[in-house]
Amino acid sequence: MPARGRSDCDLGDLDRLSRSALRHLWRQQFGGEPPSSFGGDLLALAIAHARQERQYGGMHGRRKSALNASNLKLLAGRRAAVADWRLG
């Protein structure tokens, strides 16, 4: 999702905002409704990440691919561990 617009709120202020205010900032930032399951902490984290990525640039190329591959391996390992635990 591309980030849009600019807000009056600094990154340091996000942890002090209500869930309602964070949902409003999400709409400004991303141009759509935030997931209803996201609590205030996750909303603030996602908004801060999007702002930092916009300001400093995100990961590109090999680093991003390597991180994605690493995450997929980690998830596969966790799924296997849970399956073993359920069978055991």
Q: What angle do CA 32, 71, 79 make, to 5 degrees?
A: 100
Q: Which two tokens stand for residue 22?
A: 């964070």
pLDDT of 11 reads 79
Report CA Rg, the chain.
Answer: 17
How do residues 6-39 score in pLDDT, each as one tens digit?
455 677 789 899 999 999 999 999 999 999 999 9
Task: Please report, as a single letter, which amino acid is at residue 43.
Answer: L
* Helix-strand-coil split of the chain, %, nearest 5: 70, 0, 30
The pTM (predicted TM-score) of the whole model is: 0.59
Q: Answer whether residue 3 shows pLDDT above 50.
A: no
Q: Which two tokens stand for residue 80?
A: 């296997």
How do residues 36-74 score in pLDDT, each as one tens digit?
999 999 999 999 988 888 888 877 778 777 777 877 777
